[in-house]
Chains A and B, each alone.
Chain A
Amino acid sequence: EVQLVQSGAEVKEPGQSLKISCSASGYIFNDYWIAWVRHVPGRGLQWMGMVYPDDSDTRYSPSFQGHVTISVDKSIHTAYLQWSSLEASDTAIYYCARRTVTTFRQSYMQFWGQGTLVTVSS
């Protein structure tokens, strides 16, 4: 059974750093991209970026490039999303998802983590 288990909720102050995790099991970890998706309550889903565990190839949405860092530790089947300096606008629920690529034109996210609530407030 494919499972993605995310780290717990976080409460931080503006300017602080944060790293949240997504631990995968039940499939060959190196063979699938892990994507990160943001949901701000009352707003839509936003794709942030993804990482390919086998070679750590990382891609970012232009909207998030430079503001977050996505990384992976394939030895422990875990992907990460981190911030060096949080802002109040980073308050959201963050989901990781396993991204399947059939061809370069065919991709989808079938398995999702349970979400990590990040609250940034002074």
Chain B
Amino acid sequence: QSVLTQPPSVSAAPGQKVAISCSGRSSNVGNNFVSWYQHLPGTAPRLVIYDNNKRPSGIPDRFSGSKSDTSATLDISGLQTGDEADYYCATWDSSLSADIFGGGTKLTVL
């Protein structure tokens, strides 16, 4: 059981928007910046959001992030079948003195 809680799965139709939540506590999300990763099993994870809401070069603006108190959210708009993957939030946990990942959310584009 992960310290960061994510829904196991979300789904939406192509072109629609989906939100993936990441709930933590003051020792992690509440006082540190959150990053998000897209992972297709068997391939390297890909950073899609860092510092809560910044996009690395090459990530389309359909991906956006936000954070409020001890929760963070990854929004993906204009869904494409290529967006199907597992998505993980991550942050530093000051109590554990370690990075932690959320349990992951499987996105299905119907």
Show the binding face of A for B, using Cβ within 8 Å: 35, 37, 39, 41, 44-47, 49-50, 59-62, 93, 95, 97, 99-100, 102, 105-110, 112-115
> Which one, B51, B56, B98, contacts A49 given CB within 8 A?
B98
> Which one, A97, A108, A112, A115, contacts B50 given CB within 8 A?
A108
Is there a chain A Cβ closer than 8 Å to B44's Cβ? Answer: yes
A105 to B98, CA, bound (A): 12
Set of chain A residues within 8 Å of B42, measured between Cβ atoms? 93, 115
A100 to B102, CA, bound (A): 19
A105-B32, A108-B35, A114-B44 given; A45·B99 CB < 8 A: no
> Which one, A61, A106, A112, contacts B51 given CB within 8 A?
A106
Inter-chain contact A108/B44, CB cutoff 8 Å? no
Is there a chain A Cβ closer than 8 Å to B24's Cβ? Answer: no
Interface of A (DSSP majority class)? strand
A60 to B50, CA, bound (A): 22
Extra 17 A-B pairs, beta carbons < 8 Å, given A46-B101, A109-B45: A44-B2, A44-B88, A44-B101, A45-B39, A45-B88, A45-B90, A50-B99, A60-B98, A93-B42, A95-B44, A107-B92, A108-B51, A110-B56, A112-B44, A115-B42, A115-B43, A115-B44
Inter-chain contact B98/A59, CB cutoff 8 Å? yes
Set of chain A residues within 8 Å of B44, measured between Cβ atoms? 95, 112-115
| A101: min CB distance to chain B, Å | 9
Inter-chain contact A47/B90, CB cutoff 8 Å? yes
Set of chain B residues within 8 Å of A106, measured between Cβ atoms? 32-33, 51
Inter-chain contact A110/B50, CB cutoff 8 Å? yes
A44-B102, A47-B99, A61-B96 given; A39·B41 CB < 8 A: yes
Inter-chain contact A108/B47, CB cutoff 8 Å? yes
| B97: min CB distance to chain A, Å | 6
Nearest chain-B residue to A42 (Cβ)?
B41
Set of chain A residues within 8 Å of B46, measured between Cβ atoms? 112
Set of chain A residues within 8 Å of B104, measured between Cβ atoms? 44-45
